[in-house]
């Protein structure tokens, strides 16, 4: 058991032993185990975007067990997945690999003006399937945000009783934010803060751009002279917005992109004090060995820079 993990767990001392145990399990798992860094493999793209768009590029991925095995092979910290996949995967993998049961999802066969995911699983499923955590997506900026927050609250209450940590995907989207504002640095920082205030143990956001959506936030940031020029700077502001770095914040890359871009993004994230990454399509749509290599490279970036990360996020 590493000193860094103990330090991180000290931020959550209000939680019970079982929740802390599950959180420790994720932090001690795989190649980044014990460093305080995380690399998570999430596979809910079949639900969100459909099977062809998600798995045709690497058909082995039609079988949910492929992803669990990939996560194990690459030494990931955890694997996030919806209920149905978990039912197939859990019997063979839940004891070796921390599973994060994704408890809400949206599909693309109906797309409304404002996003509104369906609650598709709950804590009782996670317990039955031996999962290590539950995951939930919120869309701040959506007209339906309150329903999500209240569903999240209900999940959080159940999770607290069951000793399961809560992982929150916080993606601003909907009629309250502009298309480009979804990744504006103030919006991402706000999204991270909301997830923390709603009780998340681990927060997942998107890498922020230089855009500042809100004039009031712009004024406050300018007045305080907050540096936002590099991605590392912006990640630092986001991490700061997550209780001054006392919550685990990881970043995702979204759609598949070139390897170099992925690595650079992770370098900046690590430099800014991000706790790691959650990487789906960029890994599982590549051939198995190539995906493992990329995940290893990303993990090494996060581990390697962990000694150099700014003081802000390490106290």
Nearest to a second copy of 33, 82 (CB atom): 82
- Give the one residue of 21, 28, 73, 125 binding a second copy; rule: CB under 8 A: 125
Site for a second copy in 155-184 (CB under 8 A): 156-157, 160, 172, 174-177
Does 194 help bind a second copy (rule: CB under 8 A)?
yes
Residue span 261-290 as binding mask against a second copy, x where in contact by CB under 8 A, dash where not: ------------------------------
* Angle, helices 145-162/17-27, rounded to nearest 10 degrees: 100
- Residue 204 annotated to the active site: yes
Nearest to a second copy of 73, 125 (CB atom): 125
- Taking CB under 8 A as the binding criterion, the range among 119-127, 262-270, 286-294, 303-311 that sits at the site for a second copy is 119-127
Q: How far is the CB of 285 from a second copy (least distance, A)?
A: 10
Residue span 62-91 as binding mask against a second copy, x where in contact by CB under 8 A, dash where not: xxx-----------------xxxxxxx-xx
Nearest to a second copy of 57, 263 (CB atom): 57
The catalytically annotated residue of 204, 206, 219, 257 is 204
- Give the one residue of 9, 72, 119, 256 binding a second copy; rule: CB under 8 A: 119
Nearest to a second copy of 168, 298 (CB atom): 168
Give, in degrees to the nearest 5, the angle at Cα 154 between 150 and 155. 115
CA-to-CA distance for 13 and 193, rounded, in angstroms?
A: 19
- In sequence order, the 6+-apart residues with CB closer than 8 A to the CB of 118 are 104, 105, 106
- Taking CB under 8 A as the binding criterion, the range among 56-64, 69-77, 266-274, 297-305 that sits at the site for a second copy is 56-64
Nearest to a second copy of 295, 313 (CB atom): 313
Does 196 help bind a second copy (rule: CB under 8 A)?
yes
- Residue 257 annotated to the active site: no
Does 146 help bind a second copy (rule: CB under 8 A)?
yes
CA-to-CA distance for 233 and 269, rounded, in angstroms?
A: 9
Nearest to a second copy of 150, 264 (CB atom): 150
Q: How far is the CB of 31 from a second copy (least distance, A)?
A: 27
Q: How far is the CB of 13 from a second copy (least distance, A)?
A: 5
The catalytically annotated residue of 66, 171, 190, 206 is 171
CA distances from 92 to 68, 72, 88, 185 (A): 9, 12, 8, 41
Site for a second copy in 22-41 (CB under 8 A): none
Does 108 help bind a second copy (rule: CB under 8 A)?
yes
CA-to-CA distance for 232 and 236, rounded, in angstroms?
A: 6
Site for a second copy in 204-223 (CB under 8 A): 214, 216-217, 220-221, 223
Q: How far is the CB of 4 from a second copy (least distance, A)?
A: 18
Q: Which residues are catalytic?
A: 171, 204
């Amino acid at each position: 058991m590493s000193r860094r993990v103990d330090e991180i767990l000290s931020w959550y001392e209000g939680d019970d032993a079982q929740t802390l145990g599950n959180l420790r399990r994720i932090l001690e798992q795989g190649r980044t185990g014990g460093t305080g860094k995380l690399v998570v493999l999430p596979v809910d793209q079949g639900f969100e975007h459909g099977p062809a768009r998600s798995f045709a590029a690497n058909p082995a991925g039609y079988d949910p067990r492929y992803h669990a095995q990939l996560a194990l092979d690459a030494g990931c910290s955890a694997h996030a997945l919806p209920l149905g996949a978990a039912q197939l995967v859990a019997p063979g993998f839940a004891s070796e690999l921390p599973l994060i049961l994704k408890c809400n999802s949206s599909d693309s066969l109906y797309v409304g003006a404002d996003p509104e995911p369906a609650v598709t699983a709950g804590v009782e499923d996670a317990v039955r399937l031996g999962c290590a955590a539950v995951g939930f997506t919120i869309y701040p900026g959506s007209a339906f945000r309150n329903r999500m927050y209240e569903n999240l609250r209900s999940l959080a209450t159940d999770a607290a009783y069951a000793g399961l940590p809560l992982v929150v995907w916080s993606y601003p989207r909907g009629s309250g934010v502009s298309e480009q504002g979804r990744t504006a640095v103030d919006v991402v920082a706000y999204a991270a803060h909301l997830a923390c205030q709603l009780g998340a143990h681990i927060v997942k956001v998107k890498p922020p751009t230089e855009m500042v959506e809100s004039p009031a936030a712009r004024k406050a940031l300018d007045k305080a002279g907050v540096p936002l020029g590099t991605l590392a700077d912006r990640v630092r502001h986001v991490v700061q917005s997550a209780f001054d770095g006392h919550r685990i914040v990881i970043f995702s890359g979204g759609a598949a992109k070139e390897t170099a871009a992925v690595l650079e993004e992770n370098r900046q994230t690590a430099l800014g004090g991000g706790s790691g990454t959650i990487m789906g399509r960029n890994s599982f749509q590549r051939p198995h060995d190539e995906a493992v290599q990329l995940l290893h490279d990303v993990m090494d970036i996060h581990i390697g820079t962990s000694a150099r990360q700014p003081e802000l996020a390490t106290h």
